């Protein structure tokens, strides 16, 4: 099946929040949601970049309104401040923002940056927005989750840091969270996950840039140009997961091409580790303790 953005249904009257919507697949996805009529909130750490992205989206003549709000997922106080601004019901929450393969850094709250941003920030955001969530939560993972291992005895990599191992762990955590949210929600909302395959965005070059490795940054840029699919194509699995009517909860969406590197969106499988319910429950409990955000699914 070839599914494209042209098949997104009318979203007039619906509200969508997209984290990391100032660039890459987040910006593309947010623009398409707004084009189909959704009131779309661009949740961005850098609001100047968010406003620039908004201007580009407005030039396309969207049916829905677009606004920019500050959200820094590496700062739990910022997550709380953002959640407090959301007063309407939310039909689509797209947990897209992330960092990849950075030199060792810590969040404002002292967590290893990739685990803290990619998982804990989105865990806290979703929990704080829970009273407003009325539709679908999409959490973005990655192909590299298959190499991930939850180091429950050292989640902050204090006994040794490998940037790709930390990234894989954070992307495995995204899937454990998405599946556990679906189990716990009991039909109150639909939780699904998606991955963009290998797409050309600035995510891949952020790590070398932070490390000051110009050669690696240039090499990654060249590699992307040769082998990666476009950000527009990479955004399709996210949009499929966010908008296809009747998509079963707990679905994982990715490209249909070889090794899920590129292609059109379809339901794909994830690693056995991502389906470990005991690990998911343990991660959930730890995440509530670390973020001080507790979920309540009572009406």
* φ, ψ (nearest 5 deg) of residue 256: -95, 5
Residue 68 to residue 26: CA distance in whole angstroms? 13
Q: Give which of 107, 105, 34 is closest to 77, Cα–Cα.
A: 107
* Beta carbons of 230 and 27 less than 8 angstroms apart: no
Please indicate whether residue 167 is annotated as part of the active site. yes
* Beta carbons of 43 and 82 less than 8 angstroms apart: yes
Catalytic position from the list 167, 179, 198, 252: 167
Residues annotated as catalytic (active site), given as ranges: 167
């Amino acid at each position: 099946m070839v599914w494209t953005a042209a098949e997104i249904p009318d979203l007039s009257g619906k509200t969508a929040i997209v984290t990391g919507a100032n660039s890459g697949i987040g910006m593309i996805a947010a623009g398409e949601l707004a084009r189909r009529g959704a009131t779309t909130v661009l949740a961005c750490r850098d609001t100047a970049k968010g406003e620039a992205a908004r201007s580009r989206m407005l030039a396309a003549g969207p049916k829905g309104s677009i606004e920019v709000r500050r959200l820094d997922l590496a700062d739990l106080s910022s997550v709380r401040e953002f959640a407090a601004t959301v007063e309407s019901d939310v039909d689509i929450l797209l947990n897209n923002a992330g960092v990849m393969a950075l030199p060792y850094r810590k969040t404002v709250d002292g967590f290893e940056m990739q685990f803290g941003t990619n998982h804990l920030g989105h865990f806290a955001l979703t929990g704080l927005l829970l009273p407003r969530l009325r539709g679908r939560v999409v959490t973005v993972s990655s192909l590299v989750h298959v190499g991930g291992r939850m180091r429950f005895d050292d989640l902050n990599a204090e006994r040794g840091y490998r940037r790709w191992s930390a990234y894989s762990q954070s992307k495995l955590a995204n899937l454990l969270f998405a599946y556990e949210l679906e189990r716990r929600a009991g039909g109150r909302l639909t939780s699904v996950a998606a991955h963009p395959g290998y797409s050309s965005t600035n995510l891949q070059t952020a790590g070398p840039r932070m490390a000051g490795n110009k050669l690696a940054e240039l090499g990654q840029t060249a590699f992307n140009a040769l082998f990666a699919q476009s950000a527009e194509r990479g955004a399709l699995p996210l949009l499929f997961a966010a908008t296809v009517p009747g998509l079963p909860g707990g679905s994982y969406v990715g490209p249909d091409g070889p090794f899920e590197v590129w292609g059109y969106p379809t339901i794909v499988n994830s690693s056995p580790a991502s389906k470990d319910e005991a690990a998911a429950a343990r991660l959930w409990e730890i995440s509530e303790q670390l973020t001080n955000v507790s979920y309540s699914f009572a009406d």
